[in-house]
């Protein structure tokens, strides 16, 4: 049984003006996402500023989400690290809280070999044998690409490695990955502008930045495709392209957190070294939001 099908939100981590995590606001965001039809919560991923959370904040935020969602939809915890030991610690803790699955980014900065990646992922997975794991391939951030052959070997040899968040942007690589896994890998788009193409390769959904500000539309895009209305799914994909481009005109999550604040969600500031958007890019984002029909003043 798949971890989820549809649109999972890579949810932001809201903060107070002083930079502390705002759990009251996070509770509001979680409830809004569930009410809007979002199919899964991905907590403490890239969009959640996991790289600047302390280990204590990271784990507290995962536990908070698991407890507040309380089984209504799956909660997938980002517990990857460039240190295998740290990834094991984070993963075992998140599993103990009841996270439905783990999202493990490939080790960043180290630039591990494919042999090293297999050793890393196998060690983490064996520490949490009852918890499903989604590999997260985003070489533009990590400097390390998980090849189709490596993904297939891990999927074949490690029982609880079941899925892939594909954010390489390389559709040919994603197609080869699905061919090598006989189409049985649980595939999720990691790029909002490639949801429909990846669904066409056997994908089950998206782990989405866009869902932070357009949860209903993103859910509908995926569900329409999975229910056979590919024309509607394509229309929704193309209608969102301008907004998606604006959401990535500066490094994620700068634009999406800015967009939520524009919408009055009061999710607070970013943690350094992330900073406020350039004025021209913020104006572009506001224009794209208006064009998409979002309530921008």
pLDDT tens digit string along 199-239? 999 999 999 999 999 999 999 999 999 999 999 999 999 99
- pLDDT of 20: 96
pLDDT at 46 over 80: yes
pLDDT at 297 over 90: no
Q: What domains does the chain contain, in order, with CATH numbers?
A: 6-230 (3.20.20.70)
Average pLDDT rounded to a whole number, residues 275-283: 97
Computed over every residue of the chain, the mean pLDDT equals 97
pLDDT tens digit string along 11-43? 999 999 999 999 999 999 999 999 999 999 999
For helices 84-97 and 55-69, the axis angle rounded to 10 degrees is 30
- pLDDT of 269: 97
- pLDDT of 1: 77
- pLDDT of 143: 92
Beta bridge partners of 162: none
For residue 168, give both structure tokens.
């390489």
- pLDDT of 276: 96
pLDDT tens digit string along 174-199? 999 999 999 999 999 999 999 999 99
- pLDDT of 98: 98
Distance CA 92, CA 71 (A): 19
- pLDDT of 255: 98
Please identify which residue in the block is written with the tokens 């009055």: 264
Give the pairing of strands 75-78 and 6-10: unpaired
pLDDT at 270 over 90: yes
Q: What are the catalytic residues?
A: 136, 165
pLDDT at 107 over 80: yes
pLDDT at 113 over 90: yes
- pLDDT of 121: 98
Measured distance between the N- and C-terminal CA atoms of the chain, rounded to whole angstroms = 43
For helices 215-226 and 230-239, the axis angle rounded to 10 degrees is 150
- pLDDT of 40: 98
């Amino acid at each position: 049984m798949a971890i989820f099908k549809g649109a999972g939100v890579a949810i932001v981590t809201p903060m107070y003006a002083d930079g502390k995590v705002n759990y009251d606001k996070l509770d509001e965001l979680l409830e809004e996402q569930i009410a809007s039809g979002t199919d899964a919560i991905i907590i403490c991923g890239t969009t959640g500023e996991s790289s600047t959370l302390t280990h204590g904040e990271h784990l507290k935020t995962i536990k908070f989400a698991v407890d507040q969602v309380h089984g209504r939809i799956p909660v997938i915890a980002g517990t990857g690290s460039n240190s295998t030991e740290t990834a094991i610690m984070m993963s075992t803790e998140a599993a103990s809280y009841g996270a439905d699955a783990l999202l493990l980014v490939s080790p960043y900065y180290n630039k591990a070999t494919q042999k090293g990646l297999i050793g890393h992922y196998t060690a983490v997975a064996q520490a949490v044998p009852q918890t499903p794991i989604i590999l997260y391939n985003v070489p533009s951030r990590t400097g390390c690409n998980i090849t189709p052959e490596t993904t297939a070997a891990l999927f074949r040899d490690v029982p609880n490695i079941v899925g892939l968040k594909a954010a390489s942007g390389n559709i040919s690589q994603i197609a080869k990955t699905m061919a090598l896994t006989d189409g049985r890998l649980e595939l999720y788009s990691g790029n909002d502008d490639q949801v429909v193409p990846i669904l066409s390769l056997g994908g089950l959904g998206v782990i989405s930045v866009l869902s932070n500000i357009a949860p209903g539309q993103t859910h509908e895009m995926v569900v329409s495709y999975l229910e056979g209305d590919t024309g509607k799914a394509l229309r929704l994909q193309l209608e969102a392209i301008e907004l998606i481009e604006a959401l990535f005109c500066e490094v994620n999550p700068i634009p999406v957190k800015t967009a939520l604040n524009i919408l009055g969600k009061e999710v607070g500031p970013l943690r350094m070294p992330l900073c406020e958007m350039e004025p021209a890019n913020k104006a572009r984002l506001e224009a794209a939001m208006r064009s998409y029909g979002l309530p921008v003043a």
